[in-house]
Amino acid sequence: MADEVSFERVGAIIREAADTLIRPRFRHLGADAVSVKTHENDLVTVADLEAEVFLTRRLTDLLPGSLVLGEEAVYQTPEIGKVLDGDAPVWIVDPVDGTANFARGVPKFGVIVALVQNRRTLAGWIHDPVSGRLYTAAADAGAWCDGRRLSIAPRGRRTLSALSGCISRRLAERKRHLFGEITQQGSAAHDYMSLGEGRLDFRLFRLLKPWDHAAGVLLVEEAGGYVRMLSGQRYAPVFHADDALLIAPDAATWAEVRAALGV
**H-helix or E-strand spanning residue 66:** none
**How far is Cα 161 from Cα 180, in angstroms, rounded to an integer?**
5
pLDDT at 4: 64
**How far is Cα 258 from Cα 199, in angstroms, rounded to an integer?**
19
pLDDT at 42: 79
In order of 85, 182, 258, the CA distances from 167 in angstroms are 31, 7, 11
**How far is Cα 13 from Cα 29, in angstroms, rounded to an integer?**
23
pLDDT at 20: 98
**How far is Cα 41 from Cα 229, in angstroms, rounded to an integer?**
25
**How far is Cα 19 from Cα 15, in angstroms, rounded to an integer?**
6
Q: What is the pLDDT along the chain (263 residues), one digit of tens a residue?
A: 555 678 899 999 999 999 999 999 999 998 888 888 877 777 889 999 999 999 999 999 999 999 999 999 998 899 999 999 999 999 999 999 999 999 999 999 999 999 999 999 999 999 999 999 999 999 999 999 999 999 999 998 999 999 999 999 999 999 999 999 999 999 999 999 999 999 999 999 999 999 999 999 999 999 999 999 999 999 999 998 889 999 999 999 999 999 999 99
> Which domains does the chain show, CATH number per domain?
2-149 (3.30.540.10), 160-261 (3.40.190.80)
**How far is Cα 130 from Cα 108, in angstroms, rounded to an integer?**
8
Helix 188-197 / helix 210-222 crossing angle, nearest 10 deg: 0
**H-helix or E-strand spanning residue 137:** strand 134-138
Contacts of 125 (CB under 8 A, 6+ apart): 7, 10, 11, 14, 111, 112, 113, 114, 134, 135, 136, 215
pLDDT at 1: 55
pLDDT at 3: 58
Yes or no: say if 111 and 126 are a contact pair by the CB < 8 Å rule: yes
DSSP state of 159: -
